[in-house]
Chains A and B, each alone.
Chain A
Amino acid sequence: MEKSAVIDVLKTQIIQQLNLDIDPKTVTADSYLFGDAGLGLDSIDALELVVLLDKNYDIKIGNPEDVKEHFKSLSTLADYVLEKSPVVA
């Protein structure tokens, strides 16, 4: 799977799973996921991302603190999924 395709899928899943009231067009691969400058995700959302990665990509993460750098943007998250997920070829 191409990285850009993974980004698109992740974007849809995140907006849906995290109940974000955001127009997908305004979210780019490099938008920050956390903090006011980006999607504005918070600590519960971080835990929710962990569930999303487990459920959809079979990636097990113990503590979101450990993967902080991969949760920076859709782009970093897509890299992480491509590297770790046994279900995304």
Chain B
Amino acid sequence: MKTSIQHICHISQQTISLDGKVVFHLENQVESNEFLNESYRFLQIDYPKFFKMDILAKLAFIATELICKSLIIKDINKDEVGIVFGNKSSSLMADLTHQRSIQDKNAHFPSPAVFVYTLPNIMMGEMCIRHGFSNENTLFISEEFDAEILAKYTNHLLNERIVEHCMGGWVDAQPGNYEAFLYFVGTGKSAFWGEHTAENILGLKQKSAEEIAENFQKTAFESEPISSEY
């Protein structure tokens, strides 16, 4: 069975691109969390729980929101949407926050609302709650984006009809750095972004990362001339 990539969304360097077009970009350098809150407001989403989420969940949430709004096929069976993600740093950002709250035994105030996000798969749970996806979630952790494993596993789920559609991608956050690259995979004829293969998703990710970097450099240059020491 042919599987195809139907939409892609990429978030990094204060830029959000959907299906190859920049939909939001913030020029002033802000903290990751602030950038994501700004994106949420810009996209006029109404989901107050967003503000409780960690960085990973916020990244996955915004990318999924954009993809779901633009789905070509409107009547997808949400119960049969699976999620297969890759990530490098697990839930490092939430882990650090939790660790700081327990580091000093005399000021030991672990927060349940932080601790729950010390599991990287929570981002997939948030997507499921928001969109009613109730099929399989799998999170693979690897040194870098492992297109091979993600594509092979996702295609198996689709070919065996374990899922009807699949949200795939890479969501990672480290201090000062974050990236989400999400794509919606379905069966049937090759859609706009072509066949769902490891080569294709890797190529699309690289291409859109380059576009984002270009956009970033351009605006960074325009807003702030690079100093001679740089």
- A contacts, CB < 8 Å to B: 18-22, 40, 44-45, 47-48, 51, 54-55
Contacts and interface: CB of A to CB of B under 8 A. Distances in A.
A51 B115 CA distance: 12
B109 A55 contact: yes
A48 B48 contact: no
A51 B48 contact: no
A51 B52 contact: no
How many chain B residues sit at the interface, stated as a range, is: 10 to 19
Contacts of A51: 109-112
B113 interface: yes
B51 interface: yes
A45 to B, nearest CB: 7
B48 A20 contact: yes
Interface string B108-136: 01111100100000000000000000000
Interface in B151-185: none
19 contacts: A18-B52, A18-B113, A19-B51, A19-B113, A20-B48, A20-B51, A21-B50, A21-B51, A22-B48, A44-B112, A44-B116, A45-B113, A47-B112, A48-B111, A48-B112, A48-B113, A51-B109, A51-B110, A51-B112
Given A44-B112, A47-B113, 8 more contacts: A20-B51, A21-B50, A21-B51, A44-B52, A44-B113, A48-B111, A48-B113, A54-B109
